[in-house]
Amino acid sequence: MAESRRYEMEDKIVALQEQIIAYGRSSSSSSATLYASSATQIENESLREQVSHLQKKVSTLEDLIEDARVSADKEESAVMDKIKRYKEKEDLLKKQVSETEEEMQRLLKSESSARGRTDEIEEALRESTVALENARAEIESLRTEVAVRPLFPCCAKSWL
């Protein structure tokens, strides 16, 4: 009887140990569930903070992109204005070059014409000089002839 009681007690101990283990498992699974739930909440809060932080970053980056776009548009407009002014200056310079070339052509023609007239005048001057020299020579010969001859040959005897 003591021995049967001993076996009963051992069986009860084993049963209680199994209950403790089962209870530990159930309580550990519920505590694990609680722990998991708590961890999930913490993780969710952390993820919310990260999402909020990333949304702020995205918003800041969008603002930076918009500022950069506005700045690029202003720079593009300024560059286009400069290009327009440079094209206008280039057109003006081309027009001035064209006018200058036309003026040079007119001056070259005028110079050529003036040289031709100068050559004609020099030739006329030479011809006049030759004619003048011939006239002088004739005058000299006439003077000599007059000096040698009496003034009025028909009356020269009567005057004497």
- C-alpha to C-alpha distances, 32 to 23, 29, 44, 47, 95, nearest whole angstrom: 13, 5, 17, 21, 91
- Rounded Cα distance, 84 and 86, in Å: 5
pLDDT tens digit string along 125-149? 999 999 999 999 999 998 888 887 7
Residue 159 within any structural domain of the chain: no
The confidence band for 154, taking pLDDT boundaries of 50, 70 and 90, is low
pLDDT tens digit string along 37-88? 676 777 778 878 888 898 999 999 999 999 999 999 999 999 999 999 999 9
Residue 85 within any structural domain of the chain: yes
End-to-end CA distance of the chain: 222
Q: How many domains does the chain have?
A: 1
What is the 8-class DSSP label of residue 25? H
pLDDT value at position 160? 46
Residue 157 within any structural domain of the chain: no
CA 30 to chain centre: 73
Q: Report the amino acid identity of residue 145.
A: E
- Rounded Cα distance, 51 and 56, in Å: 9
Residue 114 within any structural domain of the chain: yes
Is there a contact between 129 and 122 (Cβ–Cβ < 8 Å)?
no
Domain that holds residue 45: 2-143
Residue 150 within any structural domain of the chain: no
Residue 38 within any structural domain of the chain: yes
The structure tokens listed for 118 are 């100068």
